[in-house]
A and B are shown apart, each in its own frame.
Chain A
């Protein structure tokens, strides 16, 4: 039982990260029906920004005196940076193509992804960059169950960010504008919603969540790498589709499922570790076969598309 619980926690942690990244995919898709393939690179950029800021703070001796403050500060700054980066990406690569065919925008997104990844490689080097602090061993025990502090932070922060996002989307004016734009861009523009601004804000929010995920992953695994965004990007995209793309709750559930399937496949199926990605995508295919709109259903009006 303990073995199962331990693996369950592993799955939750991994799933939480996927969920945070998946939110960016799903929100952008919900608003402009674009699969933003550059999103995984934003996640990587967030992780790098975290390393740079934390190293800077550590070099100035602030890390010993107030590690939590440093961590919080780096996270906020990195989220802000990635939000701006994503808005710039949107302005450069997607906005000029807003009235072109969907295929051109998709290609533009893929191009942006390659561009950003190479940018990271050229500016930050091909080597792994280590985080100056690591929560490698700190944790607590419940019986024989060991829970690491970083797992608590990831799960806690993921939950907090999701609740904040939920409040933003369902309780605020900008959230209302986002939902309206998602439903009908032309109509909402006619009633006075600035859809360009709404789209930019959506990109910014998704990127901020990805940046937070990037830093947490960097802290959890101890280092970042220029190509770290690719695989989680694909997984998070799968999670968003699994949950029902365009649906925020769905992205969360999808992320948790993919993370959990990966861990449980490696834990219980002989040689499952080799094929864990296969299992994750088999689940995706099966769900889509029986529920074409994903678990929670797409938030898009099919008749319009």
Chain B
């Protein structure tokens, strides 16, 4: 009996002790598709946020917290799952959220988070509506669709001197929104839109529509797809179909995997993508921190900057109170890894789209729509 009592006592003491040293954790969340067709980009986003946490910790961490953790949630690019994941993050009492990926998931998730005044910074959702709904705590790290399509059409007219264009999208909020913008701007610029066709997400065989393009023989083929996986399939089949048109794609198609899968079929493809100066110290710092996850994907850098901004905001404010953190974020004016960080009143951080080209299995900066000059 005595022995049992002493064991119980010892256990009780242990429990009390364990409770006493519990570390104060700062939790931030990330929302991105970790499974399914967009898993590549989704994991890039979570890893970008992890890299930012690493850098902040190296810089001395945040006062009052022993540890910073990332709760990476799977939004699956699905509105319902994104809202469920957002609710989970609310229950975990996160200080802010990096994400989501698909605009169609970001918008409903942001409304859920807005009810609890939780800061959300999207590294990847380019749809205009994301920041145009007047949400107080919604920020955007990447560029906007309307700016992206402007850059694309400017490239088609000024550099490619295209007279005709064939547009294909895969009907997602992102790809169709972008394709519609390009169609409108192309019409205004006097480019003849031969056809604006659609394919389905998850299709593997594009031979029919590509043969159509071959027959129409446009100057430019605008390929508006939601991910690099479909992009690679379409490029291989476009090459096979013998399409001579210049192919212009956009940032969602950008991924190291695209070149890996499409190989030489990816050569010469143009993409609109946010300009990143890979020589600047901030980018190098990000790349070093990211090294353990491999080569940065399309949105790794934006996710890194988003998480860095969020954590720096908390650090400067000395609390996780959203209004105080927002004040600090609005004050920021510095050179991030991907771009110059200075938020506008609506939460946008500006677009800096340039044209990149795939050359010898690498993405290379190619043309600047602001100056009309080659890099």
Contact = CB atoms under 8 A, between A and B. Distances in A.
B257 A222 contact: no
Interface residues of B, number: 35
A16 B166 CA distance: 29
Chain B facing A: main interface SS:
helix
A272 B197 CA distance: 9
A222 B263 contact: yes
Contact of A136 (B171, B202, B239): B239
Contacts of A277: 200
Nearest to A271: B198
Given A10-B207, A137-B240, A222 B232 contact: yes
Given A128-B257, A136-B264, A273-B199, A266 B240 contact: no
A266 B36 CA distance: 26
B204 to A, nearest CB: 6
A246 to B, nearest CB: 27
A267 B212 contact: yes
Contact of B263 (A14, A127, A134, A265): A134
Contacts of B261: 128, 130, 222-223
A134 to B, nearest CB: 6
Interface in B32-79: 35-36, 39-40
Interface in A213-272: 217, 221-223, 225, 228, 231, 262-267, 271-272
Nearest to A228: B204
B233 A221 contact: yes
A267 B211 contact: yes
B207 A222 contact: no
A225 B39 CA distance: 12
A146 interface: yes
A221 B263 CA distance: 12
Given A127-B40, A221-B237, A223-B232, A10 B263 contact: no
A3 interface: yes
Given A263-B208, A273-B208, A136 B263 contact: yes
Contacts of A126: 35-36, 39-40
A148 interface: yes
Interface of B: 35-36, 39-40, 171, 197-200, 202, 204-205, 207-209, 211-212, 214-215, 229, 232-233, 236-237, 239-242, 257, 260-265
The 7 closest A-B pairs by CB, nearest first: A266-B208, A10-B207, A126-B39, A130-B261, A222-B236, A263-B208, A274-B198
